[in-house]
Amino acid sequence: MIIQENKEELLAEFYEKYVANRWINDFLKIDEIYKSDNDVIDGNLVSAFNEVCKQAICLQQKQLKGEIRYIYFSLLRTSLLENKGEYRIDLYDENWFLDKQECFINIDLNFIFASIFKYMEELKEKKKECGRSITDMDIENMMLEETDKYHVLAVEFLKGLIEKFIGTPSYEKMKKAEDIRIFVGEYMDEAEMIYPEEK
């Protein structure tokens, strides 16, 4: 059995050697991917947003949903463990989380997270150098902590797409509150308002 202090030291060394600051190069690569493929990436996301607004319109026509007051983009942490960089868009009326009619769609932000998934597989190989001291679960925990940095990047990216989202035909047609708010964060957890912009 490994003494806890030694394990923590070992994990810290492993992190410093293989993980720390790797995100800096990743962000440069992600930026290149986005620049070369932004029409497709933006097109898919805007199309998905338009679809979820269509769902809301259908529910409103059936009197099952009121005016949309809150839109949430949520990171799905469980999907990260399946190597998928998915976010969920939820549309709520004035009842917010108590809105009984689900209206959501999942979107794919894999271009932001793909490099971290690939790297975590490599880390599972590198941990063999440490004998049995470091487990797959330790690697997954490191990954989940690292993804916070990638989530910050995703938030900035989504902020940049707001104008395209609110310009979609279904968004314009959908009944919405005058003080509609758009947030991005963790599913049913902390979130940051990205629309309207705070003055």
Please list the pLDDT of the chain residue by residue as tens digits (199 residues). Answer: 444 558 888 888 888 888 888 888 899 999 999 999 999 999 999 999 999 999 999 999 999 999 999 999 999 988 988 889 999 999 999 998 888 899 999 999 999 999 888 888 888 888 777 777 788 888 888 888 889 999 999 999 999 999 999 999 999 999 999 999 999 998 777 899 999 976 5
Adjacency order of strands within the sheet including 86-92: 104-108, 86-92, 68-75, 176-186, 191-195
110-126 helix and 22-61 helix, angle to the nearest 10 degrees: 130
Q: And the tokens for 19?
A: 């993980």
State the total domains in the chain.
Answer: 1
For the chain, the distance separating the N- and C-terminal CA atoms, rounded to the nearest angstrom, is 56
**pTM strictly above 0.95:** no
CA quadruple 95, 98, 102, 105: dihedral, nearest 10? 80
- How far is residue 44's CA from residue 48's CA, in Å, rounded to a whole number? 6
CB 164 within 8 A of CB 196: no
Domain residues for the domain of 137 are 4-195
- How far is residue 39's CA from residue 46's CA, in Å, rounded to a whole number? 10
Q: For 40-93, give the secondary structure using H, E and C.
A: HHHHHHHHHHHHHHHHHHHHHHCCCCCCEEEEEEEECHHHHCCCCCEEEEEEEC
- List pLDDT tens digits, range 183-195: 999 877 789 999 9
Q: And the tokens for 129?
A: 């150098």
Q: And the tokens for 183?
A: 């947030």
